[in-house]
Amino acid sequence: MSTLKTRTTLLLNWYANPYHAPIFVAKALGFYEHEKINLAILEPTDPSDVTEIVGLGNVNIGVKAMIHTVAARAKGYNVTSIGTLLDEPPTGLISLKSAGIHTFKDIRGKRVGYIGEFGKKIIDDLATLAGIDPESYETIRIGMNVTDAICRDIIDTGIGFINFQKVELEYLNSEVNFLRLDQLAGLGCCCFCSVQYIIPDEMLQYPEIITGFLNATQRGAAYTTENPDDAFELLCQAKPQLRSELYKKIFIRTLPFFSRNLLNIEKDWHKVGLYTKHLNIIDQHFDIQTCYTNQYLPKTPHSEIDAIACCIDKTCA
C-alpha cells in the first residue's frame, strides 16, 4: 500500500496530446502532490493494449474510451470507470471532399480505415443496416493514424475525431467531410467514444488514492477550462513537442469536451450498453452498471473561493 501511495501509475490511451491537458495541468500545478500522489504518466506503444494492461493490474489507472471499458469487462478484465475525461467527442468518418463521400452509402468502392476491432464492427454493422454489400468496400486497420493514411492515399476515408484528425486535415488547407457515427447509428450521442479514467478492481482497496486522484484531476479540469492559455502553456512545458499552431487549434477544439465534474453519465452508459449488445460485444445478461462508479468523485466541484455560507440546509442553523 505504501508503494502505491508514493508512486501511482497512469497509462494514457494514446501519445500525450491536448486532450490529456487536465492531467498534465494537475501534475504541473502540484494538485496530485497535494493529495500525496506521486503520479507517473505513461504512454502506450500500442493504444489497443491499454485495457488489457489495466485489467491485468499492471498499472493503477488508465485512460480509455467507454466502449473499450465495456468490452474489457465482457472479456473478463475487471476494470471500472471512476470518472470521465472527455464527454462525447464526436467520432466520425473523415475524408477529403475530393473523395466524394457525402453520405455513408458513398463508401461503396472506397477504402475505409478503422482504429481497432470495434471500428470495423461499427462500419460493417452500419453497412449491413444500409443494405451495402460488405464486398463493395475495403476496410483497412490504420489505428489512430487516420490523417497520415489519408494523406498517403492508403485510405479514402477513416474513423477519427472532430477535434483532432479533422483539425489536422483542415490545417493542411484541405476541405474535409465529416459524417458523425453516432448520428449514423441513431444513438443521438457519441457516448461510445467518451473517454474514461479506468482502474483494475484491485485498486478499489485503496479508496484514498482514487479519491485523491479524482480531487486533483477535477481541479486540473477546472483550471484548464477556466485558464486555457495558461493550461496550454503548462501542457507545452511538460510536452514541448506540442508547442505548435496545430496542437493549439486541437486544444481549443477540445475545450468544450473536457468534463469538469468527471461524472459518469448514467444515460450515456445505458446507451452504450444497448449499442454494445446490438454489436454482440456483450450479451443480454450483461449488467452495464458494473462498468462504472461515481462513488469516489468529490461531493462538490473544487473551488478556489471559500464558501460564505456553510450550506443551505435548514438543519445547519
Phi, psi angle pair for 142, to nearest 5°: -125, 5
Q: Is the separation of the CB atoms in 21 and 235 below 8 Å?
A: yes
* Catalytic residue list contains 68: yes
- Active-site residue, selected from the candidate residues 34, 68, 102, 302: 68
Cell numbers that stand for 51 in this block: 485495457
> In terms of Cα–Cα distance, which of 172, 178, 227 is closest to 22?
227
Residue given cell 484491485 in the structure block = 202
Distance between CA atoms of residues 263 and 181, nearest Å: 23
- List the strands of the sheet with 111-114, edge to edge: 138-141, 111-114, 157-161, 91-96, 176-180
Distance between CA atoms of residues 284 and 302, nearest Å: 39
- Positions marked active-site: 68
